[in-house]
Structure 1
Amino acid sequence: MTLNPPSLLLARNEAQFTGNVLFANPEDTFPQTLMSQANVYTWCQSKAVDEQLARVGLPDEQRHFGAEWDAGRVEAFDHVIIYQPKAKELLDYLLAATLPHLKQGGQLWLVGDNKSGVKSSVKRLTAPLEEVGKVDSAKHCLLFNGYLRGEAKPFALNDWVTRWQEDVAGQSFTLCSIPGVFGHGKLDKGTALLLEQLEQHRFMSDVAHARLLDFGCGDGVISMWLHKRTGANISALDDSALALKATE
């Protein structure tokens, strides 16, 4: 399976990754290639990537799909490797969630292509990380690392949840969101327009006992609105573990 440029940059430095290694937000199957030299674990926010890793042979007990890392799997890691996410707030979330599981003196790695903003994101690699610097660059990508030299604050998911009251298209409800979820912390204009149009559509007169699928549910605003408006049985589906957690 073809690796993306950030993974190819990691492959140039693969001799560094030994012991217990956690990949946070991996984008492809590169973690599986290290199984012969390291105890590899993955924490995926994307169900599609998690399934790709399963297909290439990374065992179930070494993969986790969820909104936060399952601390019961490994006590501490020698390396944590984070792929630069699109949202800078999500990078802060991933750092907060993984640093408590990094050994003292362990290395935190950040990799991404130049367009992802990884160059400016290195400023977010602050205490308790020290000796932060660039390790390598190639294929329009950058690789940084730093060493854990202090105590990381325990991670609490609830500290990262944003809650707010929303009134839209005749319905009022409380929404929750987590960094990395589409429209984090607000109702985007496109969704608001969709709900206003649904309220006026003849479709709404015949769905009270229907079973509906909200495909790509995000923070669940459409599911919530439809359920309150019609009482319909709704299944919410998304590739993102963070979106599913917010929808709960």
Structure 2
Amino acid sequence: MKDFAFDLLRPELAQATGTTLWIADENALQPELAITPRNNVTVISNRIDLTDSLTEQGWQCRFSDFNFSEYADGSIDTLIYRVSKEKPIVHHVINQAIRLLRPDGKLFIAGLKNEGIKTYLDKAKKRFAGNMQTEKSDKNTWMGILTRPDACDTDSLDDQDYPVLRDVASDETYHYYSKPGVFGWNKIDKGSEYLIEQLGRFTERLKQPATRILDLGCGYGYLAMNCASDDCFVTATDNNATALQACQENFSRHKINGEVIPANCAEGIDSRYPMIICNPPFHQGFSVTGDLTDIFLRATRRRLENDGIAAFVTNLHIPLERKASAHFNRVETLADNGSFKLVLLAKPKR
């Protein structure tokens, strides 16, 4: 799918001079980038799949939670950013641009009208003391070119203390630390909670108790933490740096028997597991014919032992079972609560 917002930034990325940072997240990359990597450009991405893809293309990349602490004040000439989906991240990047850019350095920021780009540009213009030009490719797609003034005395935008992990939820077992940038960051996800409440429906199907479990798309770690025990080691994976940071914090605080690994749907993990747990990032409006479903199902098929089971929880409206039947000989809906359903996958097709 063509991204007209990124197309506005494409020429700036191709001809950027001086020390340049390209801020890239899930909104920032088209399948065919078609730009020659530049030695003066460093990509900062919170997505391990984007980092891996761009590194393979020859770009200099750093995988991080948009942590710019290693860069000195006024050390950057150009910053290029296609706005993220979440407001705290956008505000964080704009605030950091003020610190990072040298006087007369430029921030190129683009997005779509329905993503709030015009509001972001208005806010950024105030932070940059009015030094902004705009371009647009159509009435819905805008780019701001902001020049860093010698002095910026305006208040920082509200980023909800984006860099800081905080205690966001608790139950009888754990306190959970998270932050903006993790899906459902400030609550216990109802689907995940339902899966843990009904976990016995899955584990009773195992021939013997699982001593190793793989969590695909771990988020801040709720499922993994509640499946781990002294007798069961859990490997938690995610492609998002924010989620991994939060999950590692929760594992460390609660001494969880497990490990946290950056991986895009278990890519780079060679082991097979007797049990896999997953609350995939499917949502209302998600097309079950899309690539995301197949990615999760293929990863589960590859990493599941022949006599193992996978425990999925999804929204009730998602016909996961139909696509799963191409990958597993056994697909069974075990329960639903009117909002979510629990689906067991077993006997992977090799």
Q: Which string of whole-angstrom CA distances, capped at 9 and with x for unpartnered residues, describes residues 152-208 of structure 1? A: 98x9x88532213411xxx4212111211100211122222222222x425179676
Give structure 1 stretches of 5+ with no counterpart: none
Structure 2 CA distance for partners of 1:213 and 1:25, relative to 1, 3 Å? same
- Given that 2:89 and 2:162 are in contact with CA atoms closer than 8 Å, whether structure 1 keeps it comes out as no
Aligned to 1:188: 189
Task: Tell me the number of residue pairs that the alignment of Structure 1 and Structure 2 aligns.
Answer: 236
Q: CA RMSD in A?
A: 3.3
Partner AA of 1:246 in structure 2: A
| 1:41-190 → structure 2 map (5 Å cutoff) | 41-58=42-59, 62-69=60-67, 71-72=69-70, 76-125=75-124, 128-138=127-137, 140-149=140-149, 150=151, 160-167=164-171, 171-190=172-191
User: How far apart, CA to CA, are the structure 1 residues paired with 2:2 and 2:205?
Assistant: 48
Partner AA of 1:161 in structure 2: L
TM-score (norm 1): 0.79
Secondary structure at the counterpart of residue 7 of structure 1: helix
User: How far apart, CA to CA, are the structure 2 residues paired with 1:80 and 1:110?
Assistant: 8
Structure 2 CA distance for partners of 1:74 and 1:35, relative to 1, 3 Å? farther
User: How far apart, CA to CA, are the structure 1 residues paired with 2:48 and 2:113?
Assistant: 25
Question: Which range moves more in the overlay, 85-94 or 45-54?
Answer: 85-94
| 1:203-218 → structure 2 map (5 Å cutoff) | 203=203, 210-218=211-219
- Given that 1:216 and 1:236 are in contact with CA atoms closer than 8 Å, whether structure 2 keeps it comes out as yes
Partner AA of 2:64 in structure 1: G
User: How far apart, CA to CA, are the structure 2 residues paired with 1:18 and 1:176?
Assistant: 40
Partner AA of 1:160 in structure 2: V
- Given that 1:28 and 1:52 are in contact with CA atoms closer than 8 Å, whether structure 2 keeps it comes out as no
Question: Which range moves more in the overlay, 205-214 or 48-57?
Answer: 205-214
Larger Rg: 2
- Given that 1:132 and 1:144 are in contact with CA atoms closer than 8 Å, whether structure 2 keeps it comes out as no
User: How far apart, CA to CA, are the structure 2 residues paired with 1:97 and 1:231?
Assistant: 44
TM-score (norm 2): 0.58
Higher fraction of helix: 1
Give identity over the alignment, percent.
22
Structure 2 CA distance for partners of 1:151 and 1:209, relative to 1, 3 Å? farther
- Given that 1:86 and 1:116 are in contact with CA atoms closer than 8 Å, whether structure 2 keeps it comes out as yes
Question: Which range moves more in the overlay, 70-79 or 212-221?
Answer: 70-79
Structure 2 CA distance for partners of 1:192 and 1:56, relative to 1, 3 Å? same
Greater RCO structure (CA 8 Å; 6+ sep): 1
User: How far apart, CA to CA, are the structure 2 residues paired with 1:32 and 1:176?
Assistant: 39
- Given that 1:122 and 1:144 are in contact with CA atoms closer than 8 Å, whether structure 2 keeps it comes out as yes
Q: Which string of whole-angstrom CA distances, capped at 9 and with x for unpartnered residues, describes residues 115-159 of structure 1? A: 322222224426642225452111542111323333698x9x885
Partner AA of 1:236 in structure 2: A
User: How far apart, CA to CA, are the structure 2 residues paired with 1:124 and 1:160?
Assistant: 22
- Given that 1:45 and 1:240 are in contact with CA atoms closer than 8 Å, whether structure 2 keeps it comes out as yes
